[in-house]
Amino acid sequence: MTAGLDELSFDIGALTDGYASGAFTPAAVIEEVYRRIAERGEKPVWISLLPMADALEKARGAPKGPLYGIPFAVKDNIDVANLPTTCACPEFAYAPKRSATVVARLEAAGAIAIGKTNLDQFATGLVGTRSPYGIPSSVFDPEYVSGGSSSGSAVAVASGVVSFSLGTDTAGSGRVPAGFNNIVGLKPTKGVLSATGVVPACRTQDTISIFALNVADAAKVMATASAYDAEDAYSRKPPRQFAVESLPPNLRVGIPADGLEFFGDVEAERLYRASVARLKESGASIVAFDFTPFRDAARLLYQGPWVAERLAAIRSFAETKPDALHEVVGSIILNAAKLSAVDAFDGFYRLADLTREADAQWAAMDVMLLPTSGTTYKISELLADPIQLNSNLGYYTNFVNLMDLSALAVPAGFRPNGLPFGVTLIGRAFDDGRLAAIGDALHRASPDLRLGATPVKLHDTQPAVPTAAGRIAVAVVGAHLTGQPLNVQLQERSARLIKSARTAPGYSFYALAGTTPAKPGLVFDGEGAGGIEVEIWEMEEAAFGSFVALIPPPLGIGTLKLDDGSRVKGFLCEAHAVADAEDITAYGGWRAWLTRTAQL
């Protein structure tokens, strides 16, 4: 085992830093992943695992993309080549010849799929108790449910075994397990992530979802995975590429005027009210809205004709092998055969009416903030009352896909009994980037939160950094600063100054010899005690390419870590070039050194 690896949370920033510094390799991380799996036991979280030898081979040949060497898990209704897809039904299992489009995109970016995770059978349930492969429990208390249907995917992330995971979300399956396990659940706008290679639950309402330890990680995975897929009939071309946006000014956050339901969980209500207060303290306006049309739409998902889509997805199998279905899942899916085409149209009309009513509520708010779930339950309670309690867990989630909305679930604190609570930000379609900005700020405003069940604190990880889609942020440290002789190169490319900042400690700063105009060299050597002044500029991708072409050696563009934990592209210098250069680290920046030398 590589020293220190056993203490890492596996958040993407920590692994990326470790690879960049040479502290460890992807192969060493994969070995640690399998050690953690063995320590916890494979079951009931995992249904199948890639042999470690195969995973190590992937690690050694991983492309050096934005997710280089990052281990992830995949819900077992999403195809991964060389692993069976079971949907938590052994008799349904098949061997896919290729991975789902989203999995393939992630692996092309350097990520490493470790295995397939447990779920409520055929993604039918919000509880995690409906699987012949066992019942994953909350990482905080084995008596309580993990949430479903993406149960294993959430537990794999929250326990620190992988950096992120893929789930699916039709009724809340990418959000409820996040709330029960103190992690982030990103449910994107339908159609933004390809569904090719996914066994559908309700094909018109499904989306792949992303579980991660913080919003920055979820956003990075989302940016990598999202792309239009002509092979998927429900894929959509968004009006703008996904990117974390800046916090909107004058934000209006909606909370229900009435209809809030916590099912007797007073601590959940207290934590929800605290999240509302934090948003208000941040400057957001809190507005009351009528929750009625959203609540009524939620009831349609299981009480209306969309249940028939679950039968349509597996009709041949369900009718020929009904005994292979989990008892509760079978009762839900097979009963859908009683629904008629008239029932379907009645449901479509009712949903259209409710969506029009909801439009009037959206006119007064930018996003809404709801509990991810009003309460949680023990496994024994769910087994005793599987239908009603599952319905309770979907009270705040079931309407979201039906109404074509985006959502982001974030942790919001802990009850006195040690169980976590989460809230969900909900926006209109394609508001995913806005939700990421608001969700990250809200998550970080919560006191003393750690990543999942790991000991690592949220505030020790990087925040989600806003970057306009199609634009690249770059940190400049010397002759390109405002007022300096090469700043014109930025202005010629219509670059925009975002902010001034400082690097994290560990960078040494030098005045290079024999350069015209005078230029500094920034080197990461782990020695500089203070941060170095930088300016963050943003420009179009095409302009960035021409800008980089102007940079002479020994300078180049690498990745800088800032003092707030975020990372940005920026100027770095080859180490050999500073051998005869003046060390000016103590000045804290280029301007301060220029001022000092002018006075001498």
pLDDT in tens, 190-225: 999 999 999 999 999 999 999 999 999 999 999 999
pLDDT digits (tens, 9 = 90+) for 554-580: 999 989 999 888 888 999 999 999 999
How many residues are recorded in the chain? 600
Note if 237 is an active site residue: no
Burial string for 37-61 (b: 16+ CB within 10 Å, else e) reads beebeeebbbbbbbebeebbebbee
Amino acid at position 113, single letter: A
Query: Token pair 């905080």 is at which residue?
Result: 140
Instruction: Give the predicted TM-score (pTM) of the model.
Output: 0.82
Cα separation, 384 vs 35, in Å, equals 36
Q: Is residue 289's pLDDT more than 70?
A: yes
Cα separation, 431 vs 442, in Å, equals 16
Q: Rg of the chain over CA atoms, in angstroms?
A: 25
- Helices 12-21 and 26-40 pack at an angle, to 10 degrees, of 140
Q: Is residue 89's pLDDT more than 90?
A: yes
Amino acid at position 22, single letter: G
pLDDT digits (tens, 9 = 90+) for 340-377: 999 999 999 999 999 999 999 999 999 999 999 999 99
User: Quick count: other Cβ atoms within 10 Å of Cβ 6?
Assistant: 12
Can you give the pLDDT at residue 538?
84
Q: Where are the domain boundaries for CATH 3.90.1300.10 in the chain? A: 5-460
Active-site residue, from 99, 146, 149, 373: 149
Cα separation, 225 vs 237, in Å, equals 14
Averaged pLDDT, 109-138: 98
Note if 340 is an active site residue: no
Q: How far is CA 599 from CA 68, 480, 589, 595, in A?
A: 47, 22, 16, 6
Q: Would you list the DSSP string of 108-135?
A: HTT-EEEEEE--SGGG--SSS---TT--
Give 3-10's long-range contacts (Cβ < 8 A, gap of 24+): 5/29, 5/32, 6/32, 6/35, 7/455, 8/32, 8/160, 8/456, 9/160, 9/213, 9/451, 9/452, 9/454, 9/455, 9/456, 9/461, 10/71, 10/160, 10/161, 10/162, 10/163, 10/213, 10/454
Cα separation, 159 vs 173, in Å, equals 18
Q: Are 45 and 157 in contact (CB under 8 A)?
A: no
Q: Where are the domain boundaries for CATH 3.10.490.10 in the chain? A: 471-599
Note if 149 is an active site residue: yes
pLDDT digits (tens, 9 = 90+) for 146-174: 999 999 999 999 999 999 999 999 999 99
Active-site residue, from 75, 187, 220, 561: 75
Active-site residue, from 173, 209, 235, 566: 173
The values of phi and psi at residue 396, to 5°, are -105, 5
- The answer to whether domain 471-599 has CATH 3.30.310.10 is no
Which CATH class for the 5-460 domain?
alpha beta
The residues, any chain, with a CB within 8 Å of residue 69's CB and separated by 6 or more, are 15, 19, 25, 26, 29, 59, 62, 110, 112
Residues facing residue 511 across a β-bridge = 520, 582
What does the DSSP 8-state code read for residue 516? Answer: S
